[in-house]
Amino acid sequence: MKVVIDTGNYIAARAAMMAKPKVVAAYPITPQTTIVEGIAKYVENDELDAEYICVESEHSAMSACIGAAATGVRTFTATSSHGLLLMHEMLHWAALARLPIVMCNVNRAIGPGWNIWCDENDSIAQRDTGWLQFYCSSNQEVFDTVIQAYKIVENEKVLLPAMINLGGFILSHTSLPVRIPEQKEVDEFLPPYEPKWRLDVNHPITHGNIIFPDDYYKIRYNMQLAQDNSRKIIKEVAREWREKFGTYHGDLVEEYRCDDAELVILAMGAIGAEAKVAVDKIRKNGLKVGLLRIRAFRPFPEEEIIGMAKKCNKLLVIDRNISVGNEGALAGETRACLKDRVEDANVYGFIAGLGGKDVTYIDIEKMCKMVIDGKAGRVEWYGLG
């Protein structure tokens, strides 16, 4: 085990390299570009034995991963913002074809106006494609989650693609210390991929052809079952990683100082890390506040949220996204899963940090004070003006 200080993007590239994909599809977009640049260097230096395909668009990048994964090999790509949106059609294809592709998405705002800073609307817009979605709060979590994701999605009870999200510039271009295990240890944790099905010219099959409604309905149902199955697999893999390598970021969620909390913050990504600092500061003032950091948005951790709401009926949800016409995605889905299940749950939705607007622990403290003082409404746009 060694400690490396590097940016989130280069750490993601290192993790992908150590997972040993056989095909990497690459197309640049700020602030993701250095992930695929980093992998290119590993291929050039013979540290990674992979086909490195420079494609003409993000749509082509996902198409290349789909074609490669369908032949039974491990694949990787990375993108951001408008690049992710251009992939949208093929994201559905990858999930419906049950292909265990792993992709990093560097969260960036959607234009116009043109903005290269952190905003989760790009990945939230893909929440119904069937992909597993993880949101990382540190560079260490980026490294660990990329490798864990392969073990999760390649499990025969899952076989769905996974998207690992990291905040643009907040993590992608910030250097932090990360513990890196030896390659042989990673190989023990993540053995070579053994596909459950594949396209083979010597053993031809028909796949992805026209089907009747009853069969299509079953395909969608089986995808739902796979998402449900992934909850258990995510927990098992996170536990196995902790036992082998010592680092742990939670599984579907991470609980922080929630045992006696009278108010619990729900947040994703880098805001989740900042919320820990806010919790520590607030507790010094005698207020019992905790954090339930949502690590996996798909599958949605409804049991964990319901369990927390039964212990603490005040939930402050911070969204770095907006489902326009409603509210933040995490707040909306939190309300939906609690309806008719926890009678006295109070959910306070805060929209903050859109377009990369900074959200500090001081801001989170102020949000908590608004709730505690009874000054928070159902949905608050924090920091306007």
Segment 153-194, tens digit of pLDDT:
999 999 999 999 999 999 999 999 999 999 999 999 999 999
Final residue belonging to a domain, choices 198, 225, 245 = 245
Same domain for 210 and 85: yes
Name the token pair of 217: 């309905």
pLDDT confidence of residue 208: 84
Residue pair 177/11 in contact (Cβ under 8 Å)? The answer is no
Which one of 183, 217, 245 terminates a domain? 245
Do 221 and 353 lie in a common domain? no
Residues in Cβ contact with 158 at an 8 Å cutoff, skipping those fewer than 6 apart = 100, 132, 152, 226, 229, 230, 233
Q: Residue 318: which pLDDT band, with cuts at 50, 70 and 90?
A: very high
User: Residue 13: pLDDT above 90?
Assistant: yes
For residues 239-252, average pLDDT:
98
Domain with 283, as residue range(s), is 253-381
Q: How many CA atoms lie within 13 A of 194 on its CB side?
A: 4
Per-residue pLDDT tens digits for 319-377: 999 999 999 999 999 999 999 999 999 999 999 999 999 999 999 999 999 999 999 99
At 196 the pLDDT is 85
Does one domain contain both 240 and 104?
yes
76 and 214 share one domain:
yes
pTM of the model: 0.98
Residue 385 has pLDDT above 80, yes or no: no
Tell me, yes or no, whether 234 and 259 share the same domain: no
Out of 193, 227, 245, a domain closes at 245
Tell me how far apart the alpha carbons of residues 20 and 7 are, in angstroms, rounded to a whole number: 20
- The tally of CA atoms less than 13 A away on the side-chain side of residue 183 is 9
DSSP code of residue 97: T
pLDDT, the chain, mean: 97
Could you tell me what percent of the chain has a pLDDT over 70? 100
State the pLDDT at residue 205. 86
- Whether 90 and 212 share a structural domain: yes
Evaluate whether 382 touches 350 at the Cβ level (below 8 Å): yes
What CATH number has the domain bearing residue 274? 3.40.50.920
Mean pLDDT of 68-83: 98
Residue whose entry in the numeric block shows the structure tokens 């159902």: 378
Listing DSSP states for 359-377 in one string gives --HHHHHHHHHHHHTT---
Can you list the alpha helix ranges (DSSP code H) found in the chain? 8-19, 33-44, 58-70, 81-86, 88-96, 121-124, 139-153, 183-189, 213-245, 269-284, 302-311, 329-338, 361-372
Helix axes 139-153, 8-19, angle to 10 degrees: 30
How many domains is the chain built from? 2
Same domain, 170 and 85: yes
174, 78: one domain: yes
Residue 197, pLDDT above cutoff 90: no
- Same domain membership, residue 268 and residue 347: yes
Q: Output the pLDDT for position 206.
A: 83
pLDDT value at residue 207: 82
CA distance 45 to 169: 27
> Do both 240 and 374 map to the same domain?
no
**For residue range 258-269, what is the model confidence (pLDDT) as tens digits?**
999 999 999 999
Give the residue-averaged pLDDT of 36-50. 98
**210 and 340 in one domain?**
no
Return the CATH number at 176: 3.40.50.970
Report the alpha-carbon distance of residue 212 to residue 63 in Å, rounded.
25
DSSP 354: G
Q: How would you label 202-233 residue by residue, b for 16+ Cβ within 10 Å and e otherwise?
A: eeeeeeeeeeeeeeeeeeeeebeebbebbbeb
Q: Are residues 156 and 267 in the same domain?
A: no
